[in-house]
Amino acid sequence: MASDTHGVVLFDGVCNMCNSSVNYVIDHDPESYFRFASLQSEIGKALADEHGIDAGALSTIILIENGKAYVRSSAALRICRRLSGPVKLLWPFIIVPAFLRDLGYRLVAKNRYRLFGKREACRLPTEADRARFL
């Protein structure tokens, strides 16, 4: 289902922070490299399952790239390196061991609904962005 020519980002479709992050990626992805699916969607569940990841564990972002799945800060940093703007400068943090990077990631993920809110339904893409959603 995933392609080798595009990275696929799986995200929590009801999380306001996650949806804002997807909007940011769309706006700063000059090559339209990334495709998106919510973890609540059938394709999102199937892709997570294909890579041995529990789609019900909504507290992580997942990037599927070249047949490999990355989670938490590893996924976020790999996404950042392909974007335009200053966020690209976060990529060198990949040298920090994942268990250290993920401490902060897990803290934010654990409190994201309380801090940023939650939607009743998954994000619906605009007409212009529809082709980028699986």
Per residue in 32-77, pLDDT (tens digit) is 999 999 998 999 999 999 999 987 776 789 999 999 999 999 999 9
Per residue in 77-105, pLDDT (tens digit) is 999 999 999 999 999 999 999 999 999 88
**Residue 80 lies inside a defined structural domain of this protein:** yes
Q: How far apart are CA 75 and CA 57, in angstroms?
A: 15
Looking at the structure of the chain, the number of domains it has is: 1
Q: Each residue of 102-114: b (16+ CB within 10 Å) or e?
A: beebeeebeebbe
**Residue 127 lies inside a defined structural domain of this protein:** no
**Residue 2 lies inside a defined structural domain of this protein:** no
User: What is this structure's pTM?
Assistant: 0.84
Let me know: does 10 contact 1? Beta carbons within 8 Å: no
* 7-11: strand order across its sheet: 34-38, 7-11, 62-65, 68-71
**Residue 60 lies inside a defined structural domain of this protein:** yes
**Percent of the chain whose pLDDT exceeds 90:** 59
**Residue 40 lies inside a defined structural domain of this protein:** yes
Q: What is the extent of the structural domain holding 115? A: 7-122
**Residue 133 lies inside a defined structural domain of this protein:** no
**Residue 89 lies inside a defined structural domain of this protein:** yes
**Residue 14 lies inside a defined structural domain of this protein:** yes
